[in-house]
């Protein structure tokens, strides 16, 4: 496999297959039904947000953090010769990485979504963590190029070892040995160590990238051969999307290469959004959290939406109550003012009637209601029409 031209494509050079070399251009290509055989190629970077370190990221990568295992060199933990002599460091690591502890990422769910939409031709992965299976992707859709923790066997006689017993051993950091007592060889998960051949399945499916009408490469440094050669097998006119923190493997040098140099999870969300699949993807990913005690996000969202509606309703009820109370207060106030007024008016009337009887003329009481201009005898009759007819104020 020759080394791919790595010079980035000249921006001014137009794409051949896509309308634009962008996520939107890719989404249109998929929505137009032109991508029906998608091949995904993934590496450790799709699982880092689940909490599993990759190998080679400086500081956070596994190789940068193996000092505690006292290895002669970092890769020794995955060397079959070293394992034969000293299996303990591998089992120390295995107890940390064993499947069941980690929730799949939204990127794993995106691969499952491609499959459910009938668009996934194959998922090639270098990962050994089985998180794609945990995200609901059927085992036969993935080529685990470097094997996985899913099964295990004796490294000498190859006798398979039971899953439940393996789980117990790994939990207790015990070293499992062959069930055949005459063999008693070391048992190892079926992950490919340095010095071991790749599974036959890898070679049997190696032609698939040539049949693809879209390749999505995610979270790999594309440094481990022969896996690293797979993107080059994709036909020249077939679009390739790289979602990775860094540019790798010469991707970005072809006319239909699209680069999203960022976190895998945010990259797949961008693509899903451009496709109009984001809600569906998030709902699918939410289901993977149940096992880990994470409430499905959709429910949370619904809850949030509901409580927003409820809050609005509460607000309206409160406002209505306030208005009612204010109106009631106004009515009470009006009726009190009115009755005070009536009382005063009545007092004034009686006084005036008395004065009328005695013939005295007297200026209005200071406390009495104001008199209408120019009126004397009928000052308040237009207001107090309910008072005794024929009476004058
Ligand atoms: P690697 O060589 O460690 O490279 C990882 C790549 O992913 C690098 O280019 C990183 O920049 C990039 N990356 C890291 N995090 C992210 C992220 N969140 N978003 C986007 N990009 C990111 O790993 P490869 O898979 O390329 O190397 C192959 C080895 C790694 C295989 O043999 C695996 O078995 C092995 N491995 C697997 C796992 C796992 O199963 N989860 C973990 C660690 C190593």
Instruction: Given CATH 2.60.40.10, say whether it is the number of domain 3-299.
Output: no
CB atoms within 10 A of CB 315: 10
- Is 360 annotated for ligand binding? no
Mean pLDDT in residue range 221-246? 96
Q: What H or E segment, with its residue span, contains residue 142?
A: strand 142-144
User: At what angle are helices 163-171 and 88-97 packed, to 10 degrees?
Assistant: 100
Give me the phi and psi of 227, to 5 degrees please: -55, -40
Q: Is 288 annotated as a binding residue?
A: no
Mutate to test the pocket of ligand 1, among 41, 48, 54, 198 (most ligand atoms within 8 A of CB): 54
For ligand 1, atom 16, name the residue with the nearest CA.
45
CA of 203 to the centre of ligand 1 (A): 21
Q: What is the per-residue pLDDT for 236?
A: 96
Mean pLDDT rounded to a whole number for the chain: 84
Amino acid 373: pLDDT:
35
The domain ranges of the chain are: 3-299
Q: Say whether 377 counts as a known binding-site residue.
A: no
The beta strand positions in 225-318, using DSSP E, are: 240-243, 257-260
What is the mean pLDDT of the segment spanning 155-176? 93
Q: Are strands 147-154 and 142-144 parallel, antiparallel or unpaired?
A: unpaired
Which one, of 41, 18, 2, 9, lies nearest residue 232 by Cα?
A: 2
- pLDDT of residue 370 exceeding 50: no
Residues near 173 by Cβ (< 8 Å), separated by ≥ 6?
91, 92, 95
Does any ligand 1 atom lie closer than 6 A to the CB of residue 62? yes
DSSP string, 52-104: ---SSSTTTSGGGG-GGG--SSGGGGGBHHHHHH--HHHHHHHHHH-TTSSPP
Distance, CA of 385 to CA of 345 (rounded, Å) = 12
Is the CB of 54 inside a 6 Å radius of any atom of ligand 1? yes
Please report, to the nearest 10 degrees, the dihedral formed by the alpha carbons of residues 129, 130, 134, 139 taken in order: 170
Catalytic-labelled residue, pool 115, 146, 382, 386:
146
The CB of 270 under 6 Å from ligand 1? The reply is: no
- Report the distance separating Cα 240 and Cα 115, nearest Å: 18
Portion of the chain with pLDDT greater than 70, in percent? 83
99 within 8 A of 130, measured Cβ to Cβ? yes
Residue 123 annotated as catalytic:
no
Phi, psi of 267, rounded to the nearest 5 degrees: -65, -45
Q: Would you give the end-to-end CA distance of the chain in angstroms?
A: 116
Tokens of 121: 């031709």
pLDDT of residue 333: 66
Residue 316 Cα to ligand 1 midpoint, Å, equals 53
Of all protein residues, the one whose alpha carbon is nearest to atom 19 of ligand 1 is 263
User: Of 288, 357, 305, 326, whose CA–CA distance to 131 is shortest?
Assistant: 288
205 pLDDT tier (thresholds 50, 70, 90): very high
Q: Which residue, among 296, 314, 289, 265, has the nearest Cα to 108 in the 3D structure?
A: 265
Mean pLDDT of 215-234: 96
Q: How far is the CA of 23 from the centre of ligand 1 (A)?
A: 23
pLDDT score at 96: 81
Q: Which of 89-98, 104-113, 142-151, 167-176 has the lowest mean pLDDT?
A: 89-98
> Which of 40, 44, 58 best tests ligand 1's pocket when mutated (most atoms within 8 Å of CB)?
44
In DSSP terms, which residues pair with 189 in a beta bridge?
152
What is Dmax (Cα atoms) for the chain? 140
């Amino acid at each position: 496999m020759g080394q791919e031209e790595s010079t980035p494509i000249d921006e001014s050079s137009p794409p051949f297959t896509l309308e634009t070399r962008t996520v939107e251009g890719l989404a249109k290509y998929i929505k137009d039904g032109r991508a029906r055989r998608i091949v995904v190629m993934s590496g450790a970077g799709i699982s880092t947000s689940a909490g599993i370190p990759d190998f080679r990221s400086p500081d956070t990568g596994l190789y940068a953090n193996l000092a505690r295992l006292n290895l002669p060199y970092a890769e020794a933990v995955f060397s079959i010769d070293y394992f034969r002599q000293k299996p303990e460091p591998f089992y120390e690591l295995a107890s940390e990485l064993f499947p069941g502890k980690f929730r799949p990422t939204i990127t794993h769910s995106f691969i499952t979504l491609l499959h459910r939409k009938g668009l996934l031709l194959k998922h090639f992965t270098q990962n050994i963590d089985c998180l794609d299976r945990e995200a609901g992707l059927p085992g036969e859709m993935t080529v685990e190029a470097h094997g996985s923790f899913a099964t295990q066997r004796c490294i000498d006689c190859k006798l398979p070892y039971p899953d439940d017993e393996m789980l117990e051993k790994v939990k207790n950091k015990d070293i499992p040995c062959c069930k055949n007592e005459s063999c008693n060889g070391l048992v190892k998960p079926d992950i490919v160590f340095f010095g071991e051949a790749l599974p036959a399945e890898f070679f049997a499916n190696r032609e698939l990238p040539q049949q693809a009408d879209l390749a999505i490469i995610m979270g790999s440094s594309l440094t481990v051969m022969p896996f690293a050669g797979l993107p080059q097998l994709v036909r020249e006119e077939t679009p390739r999307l790289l979602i990775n923190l860094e540019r790798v493997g010469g991707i970005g040098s072809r006319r239909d290469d699209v680069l999203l140099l960022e976190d895998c999870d945010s990259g797949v969300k961008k693509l899903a959004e451009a496709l109009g699949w984001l809600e569906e993807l998030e709902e699918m990913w939410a289901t993977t959290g149940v096992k880990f005690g994470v409430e499905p996000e959709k429910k949370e969202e619904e809850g949030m939406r509901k409580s927003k509606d409820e809050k609005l309703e509460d607000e309206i009820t409160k406002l209505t109550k306030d208005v009612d109370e204010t109106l009631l207060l106004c009515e009470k106030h009006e009726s009190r003012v009115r009755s005070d007024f009536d009382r005063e008016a009545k007092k004034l009337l009686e006084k005036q009637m008395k004065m009328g009887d005695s013939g005295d003329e007297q200026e209005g009481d200071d406390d009495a209601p104001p008199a209408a201009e120019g009126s004397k005898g009928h000052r308040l009759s237009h207001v107090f029409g309910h008072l005794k007819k024929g009476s004058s104020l």
